[in-house]
Amino acid sequence: MAQLTMVQAINQALGQEMARDDRVVLLGEDVGKDGGVFRVSEGLLERFGAERVIDTPLAESAIVGATIGMAAYGLRPVAEIQFMGFIYAAIDQIYSHAARLRTRSRGRFTCPLVVRTPYGGGIKAPELHEESSEAIFCHIPGIKVVVPSGPYTAKGLLLAAIRDPDPVIFLEPTRLYRMLREEVPDGEYTLPLGRARVVREGSDVTVVAWGSMLERVLKAVDGYGAEVINPLTLSPFDWETLLESVRKTGRLVIVHEAVKTGGFGAEIAATVAEEGIFYLRAPVLRVTAPDVVVPMSKLMDHFLPSVDQITSALYEVMRY
């Protein structure tokens, strides 16, 4: 066990999996000599060589497209898209190909690949560097969407994602990269995809949060009997754990930093309305970013859900 940052935990996961399985290769912009712009792949070029840690040209669609070809050929490639705002150039590859190659070939070809990308706001970076567009990917059957919330979950989920037989979009909350340290086991371990964790037990209200919002939620719930659920995988979602919790608490607050309309919170609220409406004793509330273009850093604090907004939502649902 060591106290690691999330960057260190992901780096350790990549190194251990590359050592264990020679099918694992990394590719992306600046992942080699530079070790990635966040140093997530630091030292891996030196350890594994340029054949396995591949600095690509600046071409996101070809990075993901080549990753599909490698995966279909039998490798276990891990692509890095430098920031989530640049993944849009590769959405055709993800939507039209990675997600459906298994279906289109009736299982003859598969896509065991991971696309990692820094995700979310609060790092004072330029435009398109602080996106949280997870809902787009959750709408695509055939891929998994995974969001760790710190060093421990990042390592275990990434190892599970690389070993998964299907494509995984792995969203790394950028604000958490170096913000906190956690005890991380030295050896390999996996956290199952599609399984949520209950971070804090409570009986009065269920709060669901992922990515960097979990840290804010944990600050906001002080004094409330809140049960905090951290999905870890958004698609496929662990509905059982969520509904079980809502059945117990009768109240639900969903917190995400993406914009409200069409956000993944809507899917959660709709599912609870379909399958758990009679558990509820208060309206379901969503604490999200407003429906605006992701602002630059001067306005970012007003865009991201704050601890106060989360506390207000808790106060609101507890009135019922």
Residues with a known catalytic role: 129
What is the C-alpha separation between 136 and 147, in angstroms, rounded?
Answer: 14
Of residues 30, 37, 42, 61, which one binds other proteins by CB under 8 A? 61
Q: Which residues pair with 207 in a beta bridge?
A: 228, 253
What is the C-alpha separation between 236 and 193, in angstroms, rounded?
Answer: 8
Q: Is 116 in the site for other proteins (CB under 8 A)?
A: no
Element (H, E) at 14: helix 6-20
CB of 141 to other proteins, least distance (A): 6
Q: Which is nearer to other proteins, 96 or 203 (CB)?
A: 96
- Alpha carbon dihedral 84, 88, 90, 92, in 10-degree steps, equals 140
The pair phi, psi for residue 81, each rounded to 5°, is: -100, 125
Q: Is 315 in the site for other proteins (CB under 8 A)?
A: no
What is the C-alpha separation between 3 and 195, in angstroms, rounded?
Answer: 24
Of residues 32, 35, 65, 250, which one binds other proteins by CB under 8 A? 65
Transcribe 154-219 into DSSP letters: HHHHHHHHHHSSS-EEEEEEGGGTTT--EEE-SS-----TT--EEEE--SSEEEEE-TTHHHHHHH
Q: Is 224 in the site for other proteins (CB under 8 A)?
A: no
Query: What type of residue sits at position 309?
Result: Q
What is the C-alpha separation between 214 and 307, in angstroms, rounded?
Answer: 10
Tell me how crowded residue 297 is: count the other CB atoms within 10 A of its CB: 16
Q: Is 236 in the site for other proteins (CB under 8 A)?
A: yes
Of residues 239, 264, 279, 303, which one binds other proteins by CB under 8 A? 239
Residues touching other proteins, count (CB under 8 A): 48
Residues of span 126-185 touching other proteins by CB under 8 A: 141-142, 144, 164-166
CB of 121 to other proteins, least distance (A): 28
Q: Which is nearer to other proteins, 67 or 212 (CB)?
A: 67
Q: Is 54 in the site for other proteins (CB under 8 A)?
A: yes
Tokens in use for 164? 């998964």
- Map residue 243 onto helix, strand or coil: helix
Q: Which stretch binds other proteins (CB under 8 A): 9-17, 51-59, 211-219, 252-260?
A: 51-59
Residues of span 287-306 touching other proteins by CB under 8 A: none
Q: Is 241 in the site for other proteins (CB under 8 A)?
A: no
Q: Is 56 in the site for other proteins (CB under 8 A)?
A: yes
CB of 69 to other proteins, least distance (A): 2
Tokens in use for 221? 């719930």
Of residues 7, 9, 10, 70, which one binds other proteins by CB under 8 A? 70
Give the relative orientation of helices 307-318 and 213-220 as an angle to the nearest 10 degrees: 50
Q: Which stretch binds other proteins (CB under 8 A): 7-15, 66-74, 198-206, 282-290?
A: 66-74
Residue with tokens 């150039």: 89
What is the C-alpha separation between 90 and 73, in angstroms, rounded?
Answer: 20
Residues at the site binding other proteins, with contacts judged by CB under 8 A? 25, 51-52, 54, 56-57, 59, 61-62, 64-75, 77, 89, 92-93, 96-97, 101-110, 141-142, 144, 164-166, 194, 236-237, 239-240
